[in-house]
């Protein structure tokens, strides 16, 4: 989208309506948008490369989305997986043999809500959250991302010891955190919050900010 532009649908607020694709989408400058109750703002681009969707998502530095891709992203699941520290041999990716010393690099469990596909995240965007036995862990203090900013990673480094019966909970927030396109170039989404490792990922960001208060 060009800067200072808006993408909108013309709807009928007095009747039930369905938007099945983007064929009815109008893109125009902000100054030309009609002031009407039946105008539904789908996306807006102000003075930068970011395009903001109607519900607060920020679409950044990605390929143009095909209509089916948009729908798949908006219906995508959250990534929310436990990782248990056990004494024996792990039976699946939701288990890790312990004890686990500080400095260990750990692979994210597969996404059980997305057919058990491998899980990834974009480094430096703050989309991955980790909890230990219900307590929030701080990125850069209790754990750290692995990879250069902007790259796709499937691992992280724990910066404290884990003992038997500890449980990590790993989360990437709603409708994506991040979704990646397939490497085939077809513009499809791999599903859920998974990040594809192919070329030209489509990135859909939801902001998650955390602040530390020292008393």
Q: Which whole-number Å values give the CA distances from 131 to 1, 82, 136, 156, in the listed order?
A: 38, 9, 4, 13
Asked whether residue 200 carries a pLDDT value surpassing 60, the answer given is no
DSSP E strand boundaries for 73-176 = 79-86, 95-97, 105-107, 121-122, 128-132, 135-137, 143-145, 152-153, 155-158, 167-172
With 0-12 / 13-18 / 19 or more C-beta atoms within 10 angstroms meaning exposed / middle / buried, residue 203 is: buried
pLDDT digits (tens, 9 = 90+) for 27-44: 988 888 888 778 888 888
Among residues 204, 207, 214, 213, which one has the least CA distance to residue 61? 204
According to DSSP, the residues that pair with 96 across neighbouring strands are 85
What whole-number distance in Å separates Cα of residue 107 and Cα of residue 105? 7
Strand pairing of 121-122 and 105-107?
A: unpaired
Asked whether residue 72 carries a pLDDT value surpassing 70, the answer given is no
What whole-number distance in Å separates Cα of residue 82 and Cα of residue 75? 22
pLDDT digits (tens, 9 = 90+) for 98-156: 999 999 999 999 999 888 888 888 888 888 999 999 999 999 999 999 999 878 889 99
Residue pair 185/170 in contact by the 8 Å Cβ criterion: no
> What average pLDDT is seen over the chain?
75
On the question of a cis peptide bond just before residue 28, with omega within 30 degrees of 0, the verdict is no
Asked whether residue 179 carries a pLDDT value surpassing 60, the answer given is no
């Amino acid at each position: 989208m060009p800067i200072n532009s808006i993408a909108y649908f013309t709807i009928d607020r007095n009747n039930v309506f369905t938007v099945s694709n983007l064929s009815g989408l109008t893109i125009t400058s902000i100054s030309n948008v009609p002031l009407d109750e039946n105008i539904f703002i789908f996306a807006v681009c102000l003075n930068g490369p970011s395009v903001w969707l109607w519900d607060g998502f920020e679409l950044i530095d990605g390929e143009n989305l095909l209509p089916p891709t948009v729908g798949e992203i908006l219906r995508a699941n959250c990534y929310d997986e436990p990782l248990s520290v056990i004494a024996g041999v792990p039976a699946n990716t939701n288990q890790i043999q312990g004890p686990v010393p500080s400095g260990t690099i750990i692979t994210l469990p597969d996404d059980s809500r997305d057919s058990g596909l491998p899980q990834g995240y974009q480094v430096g965007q703050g989309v991955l959250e980790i909890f230990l036995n219900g307590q929030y862990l701080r990125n850069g203090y209790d754990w750290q991302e692995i990879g250069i900013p902007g790259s796709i990673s499937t691992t992280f480094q724990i910066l404290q010891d884990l003992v038997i019966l500890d449980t990590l909970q790993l989360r990437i927030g709603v409708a994506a955190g991040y979704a990646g396109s397939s490497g085939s170039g077809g513009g499809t989404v791999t599903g859920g919050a998974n990040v594809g490792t192919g070329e030209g990922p489509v990135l859909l960001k939801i902001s998650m900010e955390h602040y530390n208060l020292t008393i």
